Amino acid sequence: MVKLLLAGLSGDSGCQVAALALHDKLLDIILANELVYAPTLIDAKVIPDDVDAAIIEGGIRTEHEKEIAEEIRRKSKAVITIGSCACFGGIPGLANLKGGGELLKNVYADLEGTVAGPIPEHTVVTEQMMPVSSVVKVDFMIPGCPPEVTDIAYFLTTLLKGEVPELSKTDVCDDCPKERTGEYAETFKRIHEEIPDPDRCLLEQGYICMGPATRGGCGAPCPTAGVTCDGCRGPTDRSDDQGLTMLDALMSLAGTLKDEFSLPQHMGYIYRYSYASSKLAKILRRDGNE
């Protein structure tokens, strides 16, 4: 019987909703253990002192969330982050491209339709969106936006048996059923412009598909449904910077490509989920502080 905690910080609860999609399996897990704190599901208001496994969804964007993460760490034997916000900063980490001050000025500049009122002052917003691991020690991570339902089942059952789960070592291309021919398009294509050949590799056809730079194990549901992989599972074991890996993969296209690659426009593709924890962000932040 393991004492389980399930908490959400700055995120959208999508990982918890994905866990609910386990249906009976999730119930079996919860009923075989003890759910001691999970605001989305049960009424416990205080984090107990003796949590065995704490699962945290969402990243950190306020001082209040930082304190909650620290309290959970203090009271838990193992901390597991679920989802790409908690693991890498996720999509909200894209806002880190701008410094806090600039971000706020831009928002202020576009108040069309809004009558300026008072200022919220109930918590303090941090300068950057942060993954949980930048504030406390994290023992395991389950990346994905959200992780596939099968991932969640595997991680929970393995961890609760007291065993150490392993993240997939593949990339999304390894999972993808589409055929690669070695022929590349001459220009980047955007998903609305043409109807891609459903059987061929999307990257070869010119669509920025993040498969080569993204951790596999998901079964490539997005390319299978006819859209690019957008990188939601973060970097692979081979490289800790997803955007740089993708730039490298795009170099293989460079011989034929006639388009320019522009970072501000393409950032949302190559660092959609992992900018907050990327090397590039660290470099830009360091330069900004000097």
- Size, binding site for other proteins by CB under 8 A: 89
Stretch that binds other proteins, among 166-174, 218-226, 245-253, 280-288 (CB under 8 A): 218-226
Window of 157-165, 170-178, 184-192, 239-247 that interacts with other proteins by CB under 8 A: 184-192
How many residues does the structure list for the chain? 290
What is the C-alpha to C-alpha distance for residues 166 and 96, in angstroms, rounded to an integer?
30
Position among 18, 72, 136, 250 found at the interface with other proteins (CB under 8 A): 18
Cβ-contact 143, 88 below 8 angstroms: yes
Regarding 176 and contact with other proteins (CB under 8 A), the answer is no
Determine, following the binding rule CB under 8 A, whether residue 1 of this chain makes contact with other proteins: no
Q: Is 71 in the site for other proteins (CB under 8 A)?
A: no
Choose between 221 and 238: whose C-beta lies nearer to other proteins: 221
Helix, coil or strand: residue 188? coil
The yes or no reply on residue 177 touching other proteins (CB under 8 A) is no
Q: Per rule CB under 8 A, is residue 90 in the interface with other proteins?
A: yes
Using the rule CB under 8 A, give the single segment among 70-78, 85-93, 177-185, 237-245 that binds other proteins: 85-93
Exposed (0-12), middle (13-18) or buried (19+): which is 95, by Cβ within 10 Å?
middle
Binder of other proteins out of 33, 62, 157, 252 (CB under 8 A): 62
Of 67, 69, 62, the closest CA to residue 100 belongs to 62
- CA 36, 37, 40: angle at the middle one, nearest 5? 135
Q: Least distance in Å: CB of 256 to other proteins?
A: 22
* Spatial contact of 7 and 38, defined as CB atoms under 8 Å apart: yes
Using rule CB under 8 A, residue 54 touches other proteins = no
Q: What is the dihedral of CA 39, 40, 43, 45, to 10 degrees?
A: 10
Of 50, 115, 182, 287, the one binding other proteins by CB under 8 A: 115
Torsion region of 219: left, alpha or beta (phi above 0 gives left; psi -120 to 50 gives alpha): left
Q: Which is nearer to other proteins, 162 or 177 (CB)?
A: 177
